[in-house]
Chains A and B, each alone.
Chain A
Amino acid sequence: MAYYRSTILVSMDPICIEKGALQIKEQIIEELKLQKILDEVQILDSPRIGDPETEGPDILVYPEGSHYIALTPESVHPLVVEHFIKGRELAQYSAKMRDLMDEEVREPKDKEVRVILENIGKIDPRNIEDYIATDGYSALAKVLTEMTPEDVIQMVLDSKLRGRGGAGFPTGLKWKFARQAQATPKFMVCNADEGDPGAFMNRKVLEGDPHSVIEGMVIGAYAVGSSQGYVYCRAEYPIAVSTLNVAIKQAKEYGLLGENIMGSGFSFDLEVRMGAGAFVCGEETALIASIEGSRGEPRVRPPFPASKGLWGKPTNINNVETYANIPKIIYRGLEWYTSMGSEKSKGTKTFALAGNVAHTGLIEVPFGMTLREIIYDIGGGIKDGKAFKAVQTGGPMGGCLPTCDLDLPVDYETLGAAGSIMGSGGMIVMDEDTCMVDIARFFMEFTQEESCGKCVPCRVGTRRILEILERICAGGGIPEDIPMLRSLCEEIKQDSLCGLGQGAPNPVVSTLNHFLDEYEAHIYEKRCPAKVCRNLISYHISEEKCTGCTICARNCPVSAITGERKLTHVINQDICIRCGICHQVCNFDAVEVN
């Protein structure tokens, strides 16, 4: 019998078929053939998987249990390559990832504010006049006619604006350093790499209000004395790139960009550069290397980009959202701006709220709001009435904060002190069904794959941690693992070259600190309390509840379930791959997890 690495179930619901399920199946077969792995993948028809109306045509892939929905002919090639060749979930079509990425910008809830997101959905991003009609480019006019570069820098310093890219470095100070740098030319760079999985704050701004970023950059260029700028945008954002290019063209036509801006004699040109899509390219020195055409790897700092950046010249790098704040600060004034936020972090921050929370999506809140307010008042609490377990802020290098941290105000210092980070605004809420060891493993897998490999602590250290976590999740944990994890984490944090390595241990350290009991259950009792780790659970069919409807048996991808119609069904544990489908499909809750 052939050995199959994976099984694909294709939904053959009539609606799915109508939507092209048969062609998709043929195409998958062709593509697998092309990739020379057809003999390793079993392709089966399934009566129905997800909701065919909204999700069809869809497929399920085992053993991973990935549910890909709304497939199109174009999706098949990337899907096969990503999932089977590269071994990663293709986010765009993944039901789970889509859940995480719910993108709606809703009407703001009571506690939300709209500063950065103000114009989104309200103006036509491809029409500069819309932006101008909302006082767009008034700040630039003010800067060019009334303010010296030093005035601008002072104002940004006074606004206490801090970089929204993650580290929260005071923007005014950064500009001051770039202004002070002697060498010329100087470059302005906008970091629109946004690599955090599930984050899309920057993309929304670029797609919905590109001129706010352009205006911020021109003002910054005037302040630091730069005549050339680049927006480094990830290639996965084609709409953002094209919107930006339209906006740049229009701004040039209106004399707001390019030679002699607004007749002031100040010139600044802007180009869009496309990123290669690696997460680490968002790190500023890696981004510089990437623009220069080298492999996107971080470089040591010092020298900092402000003195030696792009092509060895002084370079100022800020995040999309940081630039978008600038026109508002200048035009509406310090008093208005500094009235929002906490002591050390002024203004607002956008977050991509995701995970097991009732309302996911893009939100904007003033700094200083508590996690509880964000999750419960804005996010509507935990989905399906489950209990809150943890919230992870700041993307893959953030820490997981438990219930006792829910009343912490969200700002750079507080999150840092609690063992997490602000990051660029990812916020993933986890409910009681989440296994924290598995979560740590998941994030470590991500950072390990995204590590550029330049420095030893991150390249090798994260690999060793991942191996230990995988072993614990698979039931092979030993008591020495915990001190070993702690010491590896400490060294990686201390010794790594860039923020990726320095932050990579955060998910592990924070879960070790707050959820040690779960690690111990895995290690000592070989038990996964959240019933997630596949090797530590088993499925059984309850005699009392089973009605013998056969739905589980029909859906089991490996035919592990036997039983006559109307009689209790039984799972053969030797065959079962613990995919959990029977648990999902049983209408009588007869399939139980131990």
Chain B
Amino acid sequence: MIKLTVNELPVEVELGSTILQAVQKAGFNVPTLCYHPKLVPYGACRLCLVEVEGARTMQPSCTVPATEGMKVHTDTEKTKAARHFVLSMLFSERNHFCMYCQSTDGDCDLQQAAYNEGMNHWPITPAYKPYHVDISHPDFILDNNRCIICRRCVRTCSELVGNHTLGIEERGSANILVADGNVPLGESTCISCGNCVQICPTGALFDRRSMYQGRETDLTHTKSVCMDCSIGCYRVVKTRDNRLVRIDGDMDATFADGLLCEKGRYNPVKESRVRVNEPLIRRDGELQPISWEDALNVVSTQLKAHDSAEIKAYISGRQSIENLSAFQSFFKENYKVGQTALFGHDESAAVSVELAREFGAFESNLGALVDADAAIVLGADLIKDYPVAGFLLKRKPSDLFNLVMVTKEENKLADNFSNRLVTVGKNFQQIVDLLSCYKEGGACPETDQIIESESLKAHRAYQLLESIQSWYHAVVIIGKEFAKFENLETLKKLIRYSQKVGWKVVILKGDTNSFAASLLGLELNPEVGDSPVAFYALGDGHACHHALVGMKNSGFKIVQTSYMDEFAELADVVLPCKIWAEEEGHYLTTDGRIELNRQALTAGSQQRSVSEVLTCLSEKSGFSLQLDWQAVVTDKISSIVLA
């Protein structure tokens, strides 16, 4: 512990704390602008300057470490003068006529800082000139006139997201924020994750859809978890008058710094499909409204009318564990229908469960990437399917990280790294053998041939292979292209080897809740065929083409869905479903975290969740559903994933 005083008050902080942390711990406050807890301290805006006795100049509290015996002052003539100076410089730099700004009255750190300093006029007349407003991006707008060049967005884009799209061009007062050297954002390499927008302290970067829809305090904030893939990033759902306004990352979260990807941040807000608002039944070839009671009776009758072994039931991996569990209890336990499966072709979660039978808790988690100096990615497209996990890799320093990757198709992850051995194709075995060969201290005679024949994107491949001995923290990430039952033996060999040499292993477990589905005993990657009666619990998911083909040849088709999509068009009965934001439910992430998605919106009177529907149906069938998923799921996770 380090002892120092802040405004004469003694305070103790841990070694490595900044002055800012000490100041806050002592119960004082200094304003900040360029500082953000998730970013490397930067010391650029100079608003947080404090006086440290004995120091030649004013010290930025956000970067300077607290040291023993330090005497810090935050509220002297000099500190006040410095804050006034910095603020008046910023106000004199560009256009900050707040009344026209979408961030005014509470959402702008600059304006707030000025209020707090009691500044109500500009000591120096603004000599600003008009700057470019970039409206080329579909999701957000960059108004350079409000930009204070704090570079929080730039640092977010490179330090956290690893995308390196944003940058500052020109020197001195000509500094300007640009994308890719100077390309309109909409034409740039931006991947629309929106993290820069969320982190901007002023009205310079702002969301298109939610602009002028109210200040932060006007919105209802619901802390929740993203279910657009199985990573399970933490997010805050912001609503107003039962309307979804915006989704932000939960910056208080420890996992992945509260980042979100485009899917998690914008997809739900961009949803444009037409909602199903009431139950529908096909009469004379047309879907027509019907009451819930009648609809459920029709469904119940159809289910009873057929041999249950011939019935098939499918559910979307986006459904909560509660719904999956009701589904499994209804169709599998009680009805014992022929097939109870998840949509999609990803069996990785089931493979992971299978492997755990032999190896016990063999998996690490994605958090392992934080300290990793090497990654071996086998059969996963992190950029497309698990973007935030991709960020954790992309943001690694390109010179000091080693990437080995084997995927079916090319993806851009490789571009970030100087040392890489990236092949497109499916020869997992060959690459694993090559790595182990070098790891054992030998050199593989076929290296040249492998590099030349397989690698499209090898770079400094020999350097990478020869450094393999000194990797101190390598993570093997296995995705759906490799995590298949047909590769079970190869996988076992790889895991055994990884355990021997200390590489951590993570299997990405398919869709949002595939892992939970697998633990509950639902089938993954089903053979989809026709059946006399088929039940599709699609919810707010997207139609899976494969399942659609099977559906076309089936007899009576029951679809519970939120939107009028291709499934609904083919259905005999359509049951309106709640969407993710309208019901509470749990999700099991790839890392084995059980997370709660909280309800943020109220559904229409006719929309029901999958479990609500199945509960009604079970009453009609005279049995009750076993809904206690906790025991089943919680028990099993620990046997797969290491804490």
Q: What residues on B are CB-neighbors of A449 within 8 Å?
A: 171-172
Nearest-CB residue, chain A, relative to B84:
A491
Tell me the bound Cα distance from A488 to B400 in angstroms. 43
The answer to whether B172 and A463 have CB atoms under 8 Å apart is yes
Q: Does A474 reach chain B (CB closer than 8 Å)?
A: no
Q: Does A494 reach chain B (CB closer than 8 Å)?
A: yes
The answer to whether B45 and A459 have CB atoms under 8 Å apart is no
B-side residues, CB < 8 A to A, are 41-47, 49, 57-58, 60, 63-65, 78, 81-82, 85-86, 89-90, 92-93, 124, 127, 148-149, 151, 167-168, 170-175, 397, 399-400
Q: Enumerate 6 A-B pairs (CB-CB under 8 Å) in ascending A order.
A: A300-B43, A300-B64, A311-B399, A452-B172, A454-B44, A461-B85
Q: What residues on B are CB-neighbors of A453 within 8 Å?
A: 149, 168, 170-175
Q: Does A457 reach chain B (CB closer than 8 Å)?
A: yes
Nearest-CB residue, chain A, relative to B83:
A495
The answer to whether A457 and B172 have CB atoms under 8 Å apart is no
Tell me the bound Cα distance from A526 to B90 in angstroms. 31
Q: Does A278 reach chain B (CB closer than 8 Å)?
A: yes
Q: Given contact pairs A300-B42, A494-B82, A495-B58, enumerate 6 new A-B contacts (beta carbons under 8 Å).
A: A453-B173, A459-B93, A464-B127, A494-B57, A495-B46, A497-B43
Q: Does A567 reach chain B (CB closer than 8 Å)?
A: no
The answer to whether B90 and A460 have CB atoms under 8 Å apart is yes
Q: Does A289 reach chain B (CB closer than 8 Å)?
A: no
Q: What residues on B are CB-neighbors of A226 within 8 Å?
A: none
Q: What residues on B are CB-neighbors of A457 within 8 Å?
A: 46, 85-86, 89
For A300, give its contact among B63, B82, B86 (CB under 8 Å): B63
Closest chain-A Cβ to B123's Cβ sits at a distance in Å of 9
Q: Mark A411-452, 1 if CB is under 8 A from B, else 0.
A: 000000000000000000000000000000000000011111
A-side interface mostly: helix
Q: Does A387 reach chain B (CB closer than 8 Å)?
A: no
Q: Given A453-B149, A455-B46, A457-B46, A463–B57 Cβ distance below 8 Å?
A: no
For A494, give its contact among B58, B92, B93, B148 (CB under 8 Å): B58
Closest chain-B Cβ to A347's Cβ sits at a distance in Å of 25
Q: What residues on A are CB-neighbors of B44 within 8 Å?
A: 454-456, 497
The answer to whether A495 and B127 have CB atoms under 8 Å apart is no
Q: What residues on B are CB-neighbors of A488 within 8 Å?
A: 85
Closest chain-B Cβ to A1's Cβ sits at a distance in Å of 28
Q: What residues on A are CB-neighbors of B57 within 8 Å?
A: 493-496, 502
Q: Does A265 reach chain B (CB closer than 8 Å)?
A: no
B-side interface mostly: loop
For A302, give its contact among B65, B86, B170, B171 (CB under 8 Å): B65
Q: Given A300-B60, A464-B89, A502-B57, A455–B173 Cβ distance below 8 Å?
A: no
Among B78, B89, B167, max chain A CB count under 10 A is at: B89
Closest chain-B Cβ to A451's Cβ sits at a distance in Å of 4
Q: Does A467 reach chain B (CB closer than 8 Å)?
A: yes
Q: What residues on B are CB-neighbors of A451 within 8 Å?
A: 171-173
A473-498, CB < 8 A from B = 487-488, 491, 493-497
Q: Does A318 reach chain B (CB closer than 8 Å)?
A: no
Q: Given A295-B168, A453-B149, A461–B41 Cβ distance below 8 Å?
A: no
The answer to whether B172 and A464 have CB atoms under 8 Å apart is no
Q: Does A159 reach chain B (CB closer than 8 Å)?
A: no
Q: Does A348 reach chain B (CB closer than 8 Å)?
A: no
Closest chain-B Cβ to A200's Cβ sits at a distance in Å of 23
Q: Mark A375-417, 1 if CB is under 8 A from B, else 0.
A: 0000000000000000000000000000000000000000000
Q: Given A495-B49, A497-B44, A463–B173 Cβ distance below 8 Å?
A: yes
Q: What residues on A are CB-neighbors of B42 within 8 Å?
A: 300
Tell me the bound Cα distance from A299 to B124 in angstroms. 28
Q: Does A462 reach chain B (CB closer than 8 Å)?
A: yes
Tell me the bound Cα distance from A302 to B66 in angstroms. 11
Q: Given A459-B149, A464-B89, A494–B78 Cβ distance below 8 Å?
A: yes
The answer to whether A460 and B82 have CB atoms under 8 Å apart is no
Among A450, A460, A461, A467, max chain B CB count under 10 A is at: A460
Closest chain-B Cβ to A458's Cβ sits at a distance in Å of 8
The answer to whether B92 and A464 have CB atoms under 8 Å apart is yes
The answer to whether B46 and A460 have CB atoms under 8 Å apart is no
The answer to whether A495 and B168 have CB atoms under 8 Å apart is no
Nearest-CB residue, chain A, relative to B176:
A453
Tell me the bound Cα distance from A278 to B171 in angstroms. 9
The answer to whether B172 and A450 have CB atoms under 8 Å apart is yes
Closest chain-B Cβ to A167's Cβ sits at a distance in Å of 11
Tell me the bound Cα distance from A488 to B84 in angstroms. 11
A265-284, CB < 8 A from B = 278, 280
Q: What residues on A are CB-neighbors of B64 within 8 Å?
A: 300, 302
Q: What residues on A are CB-neighbors of B47 within 8 Å?
A: 456
Q: What residues on B are CB-neighbors of A311 within 8 Å?
A: 397, 399-400
For B167, give its contact among A295, A454, A459, A493 (CB under 8 Å): A295
The answer to whether B82 and A491 have CB atoms under 8 Å apart is yes
Closest chain-B Cβ to A509's Cβ sits at a distance in Å of 15
Q: What residues on A are CB-neighbors of B78 within 8 Å?
A: 494
Nearest-CB residue, chain B, relative to A447:
B172
Closest chain-B Cβ to A324's Cβ sits at a distance in Å of 29
The answer to whether A456 and B171 have CB atoms under 8 Å apart is no
Closest chain-A Cβ to B169's Cβ sits at a distance in Å of 9
Tell me the bound Cα distance from A263 to B511 in angstroms. 61
Q: What residues on B are CB-neighbors of A463 within 8 Å?
A: 172-173
Closest chain-B Cβ to A481's Cβ sits at a distance in Å of 12
